[in-house]
């Protein structure tokens, strides 16, 4: 059965409403844009209308849509008074906050031009960004506490599609990007919502197994890789779903393929070879590997842009240490695409990966309420940066190492090998 584009768009909207937000009867729903206070991009209207329809069909009491137009932002940068970039539409954050505090669901549609601000005065761009971050704080606090269900999804922008599909003629790139999004979000399956329920159950199964195992370390082997990383006592493996404060289960990222925890910032040894390029600070670092000793990177090699990699690892002491460890089977749709998406939502789910830099507090038991010193003493890393790079492949084997030093198979040739 091949679905029409219209049917796939409807299925994407249903996935957002039922698996992503998990809209409850009587609830209010807001459709917004990237960074929350921004509205949904105008070109996402065909999807947004279907989300509105799907939400009402799921029993929503009221659905509100915030719109935005990135070209109007550019006009501001061209003509607005230079001293006006601390102006902010405060009504938008008040509106969002009112909805969120009242338990509404909020979906953020990300479809901006990745190069929108290229060529604009960097000082003004930074000022606008800081102003936004300042006004977003009360909203971010609600979001970090999961006071409401929220979700981030992508729609193609022509300039994004051009980066991902440079080999295609310009008039085919956006269509190819849509097809790719549908495939990666399992919209090509007959019943995508059922497919996601099954997928999420598998992720939870793996996370539960690893949480019970509480391995002392993981050992990775692949061509160019022989690497061991410690796992702090009390580490927690997380997967796709979160619960709101009033107990509604939602899925904040679509797609999502990873289960993840933190590594011990003082225990990483050996050589780790990346399996995909890393896009960092506008430069593409290719064919690279790192050597770790006593938890910190002591040597790097890169086929291209080695200096960019060194710059990243030198941001601060934590930038050269492990913050996150994530496992993704090689059979996941994103891994199978073999593409670089220049978009964290997709690239972070492409393969088993490691992040250097900051560890997430919630990946350690009690981590959210610990002092910075206690978190560090438990092995939790801190840095200004958190940068993920892909290491997984069809050739990667991973063993769990128990506290008494026994090795148990966790992944073989890129796929789960544990017996749960």
Continuous H helices in 81-121: 90-101
Looking at the Cβ atoms of 264 and 324, the one nearer to Zn ion is 324
In whole angstroms, how far apart are CA 74 and each of 133, 156, 157?
A: 19, 19, 16
Which of 355, 359, 378, 390 forms a contact with Zn ion (CB under 5 A)? 355
To Zn ion, the closest distance from the beta carbon of 355 in angstroms equals 4
Continuous H helices in 185-260: 192-213
Task: Answer whether 394's CB lies under 8 Å from 276's CB.
Answer: no
Which of 68, 70, 388, 399 forms a contact with Zn ion (CB under 5 A)? 388
* Phi, psi for 14 (deg, rounded to 5): -65, -40
Question: How many CA atoms are closer than 13 Å to the CA of 279, on its beta-carbon side?
Answer: 12
Which of 112, 216, 264, 324 forms a contact with Zn ion (CB under 5 A)? 324
To Zn ion, the closest distance from the beta carbon of 35 in angstroms equals 18
Task: Answer whether 347's CB lies under 8 Å from 340's CB.
Answer: yes
Which of 40, 326, 350, 378 forms a contact with Zn ion (CB under 5 A)? 326
CB-closest chain residue to Zn ion: 326
Looking at the Cβ atoms of 85 and 215, the one nearer to Zn ion is 215
Looking at the Cβ atoms of 63 and 290, the one nearer to Zn ion is 290
Looking at the Cβ atoms of 260 and 288, the one nearer to Zn ion is 260
Q: What is the DSSP letter of 246?
A: T
Which range binds Zn ion by CB under 5 A, 31-39, 119-127, 167-175, 326-334? Answer: 326-334
Q: Which of residues 37-76 bind Zn ion (CB under 5 A)?
A: none
Which of 66, 196, 220, 260 forms a contact with Zn ion (CB under 5 A)? 260
Give yes or no for residue 278 binding Zn ion (CB under 5 A): no
Which range binds Zn ion by CB under 5 A, 152-160, 211-219, 309-317, 320-328? Answer: 320-328
Contacts of 19 (CB under 8 A, 6+ apart): 193, 196, 197, 200, 251, 254
Q: Token pair of 266, please?
A: 């003082």
Which range binds Zn ion by CB under 5 A, 78-86, 119-127, 149-157, 346-354? Answer: 346-354
To Zn ion, the closest distance from the beta carbon of 60 in angstroms equals 31
Which range binds Zn ion by CB under 5 A, 82-90, 128-136, 191-199, 383-391? Answer: 383-391
Q: Reduced to 3 states, what is the DSSP secondary structure of residue 143? A: helix
Looking at the Cβ atoms of 355 and 364, the one nearer to Zn ion is 355
Which range binds Zn ion by CB under 5 A, 95-103, 205-213, 278-286, 351-359? Answer: 351-359
Which range binds Zn ion by CB under 5 A, 10-18, 87-95, 178-186, 323-331? Answer: 323-331
CA-CA distance, 394 to 221, in Å (whole number)? 11
Stretch 134-173: interaction string toward Zn ion, x if CB under 5 A: ----------------------------------------
Q: What is the DSSP letter of 23?
A: P
Contacts of 320 (CB under 8 A, 6+ apart): 296, 297, 313, 314, 356
To Zn ion, the closest distance from the beta carbon of 106 in angstroms equals 22
Looking at the Cβ atoms of 127 and 204, the one nearer to Zn ion is 204
Stretch 283-302: interaction string toward Zn ion, x if CB under 5 A: --------------------
Looking at the Cβ atoms of 21 and 355, the one nearer to Zn ion is 355
Judge residue 98's burial from the number of C-beta atoms within 10 Å of its C-beta, 0-12 exposed, 13-18 middle, 19 or more buried: exposed
Dihedral of CA atoms 207, 213, 216, 220 in degrees, nearest 10, equals: -60
Number of residues that bind Zn ion (CB under 5 A): 7
CA-CA distance, 178 to 167, in Å (whole number)? 16
Task: Answer whether 237's CB lies under 8 Å from 211's CB.
Answer: yes
CA-CA distance, 9 to 175, in Å (whole number)? 12
Residue indicated by tokens 């584009």? 5
To Zn ion, the closest distance from the beta carbon of 256 in angstroms equals 9
CA-CA distance, 14 to 179, in Å (whole number)? 17
The kind and range of the H/E element at 27 are: none
Which range binds Zn ion by CB under 5 A, 30-38, 132-140, 293-301, 348-356? Answer: 348-356
Contacting positions for Zn ion (CB under 5 A)? 258, 260, 324, 326, 348, 355, 388
């Amino acid at each position: 059965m091949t679905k029409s584009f219209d049917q796939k768009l409807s299925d994407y909207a249903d996935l957002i409403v039922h698996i992503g937000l998990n809209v409850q009867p009587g609830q209010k729903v807001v459709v917004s844009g990237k960074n929350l206070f921004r509205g949904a991009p105008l070109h996402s209207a065909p999807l947004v209308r279907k989300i509105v329809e799907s939400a009402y069909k799921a029993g929503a009491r009221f659905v509100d849509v915030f719109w935005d137009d990135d070209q109007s932002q550019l006009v501001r940068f061209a003509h607005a008074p230079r001293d006006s970039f601390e102006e902010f539409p405060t009504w938008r954050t008040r509106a969002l906050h009112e909805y969120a505090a009242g338990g509404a669901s909020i979906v953020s549609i990300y479809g901006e031009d990745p190069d929108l601000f290229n060529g604009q005065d960097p000082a003004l761009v930074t000022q606008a960004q800081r102003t936004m971050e300042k006004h977003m704080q009360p909203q971010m606090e609600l979001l970090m506490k999961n006071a409401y269900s929220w979700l981030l999804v992508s729609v193609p922008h022509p300039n994004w599609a051009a980066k991902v599909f440079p080999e295609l003629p310009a008039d085919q790139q956006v269509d190819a990007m849509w097809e790719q999004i549908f495939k990666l979000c399992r919209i090509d399956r007959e019943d995508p919502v059922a497919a996601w329920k099954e997928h999420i159950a598998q992720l939870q199964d793996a996370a539960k197994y690893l949480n019970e195992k509480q391995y002392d370390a993981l050992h990775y082997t692949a061509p160019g890789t022989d690497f061991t990383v410690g796992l702090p006592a009390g580490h927690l493996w997380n997967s796709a779903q979160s619960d709101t404060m009033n107990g509604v289960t939602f899925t904040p990222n679509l797609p999502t393929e990873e289960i993840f925890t933190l590594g011990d910032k003082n225990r990483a040894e050996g050589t780790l070879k990346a399996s995909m390029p890393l896009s960092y600070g506008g430069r593409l670092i290719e064919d690279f590997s790192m050597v770790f000793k006593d938890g910190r990177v002591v040597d790097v090699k890169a086929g291209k842009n080695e200096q960019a990699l060194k710059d990243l690892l030198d941001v601060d002491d934590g930038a050269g240490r492990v913050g996150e460890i994530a496992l993704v089977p090689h059979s996941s749709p994103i891994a199978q695409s073999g593409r670089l998406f220049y978009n964290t939502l997709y690239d972070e789910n492409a393969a088993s990966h490691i992040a250097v830099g900051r560890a997430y507090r919630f990946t350690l038991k009690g981590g959210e309420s610990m002092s910075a010193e206690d978190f560090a003493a438990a092995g939790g890393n801190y840095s200004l940066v958190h940068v993920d790079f892909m290491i997984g492949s069809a050739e990667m084997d991973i063993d769990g190492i128990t506290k008494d030093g026994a090795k148990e198979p966790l992944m073989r040739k890129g796929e789960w090998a544990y017996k749960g």
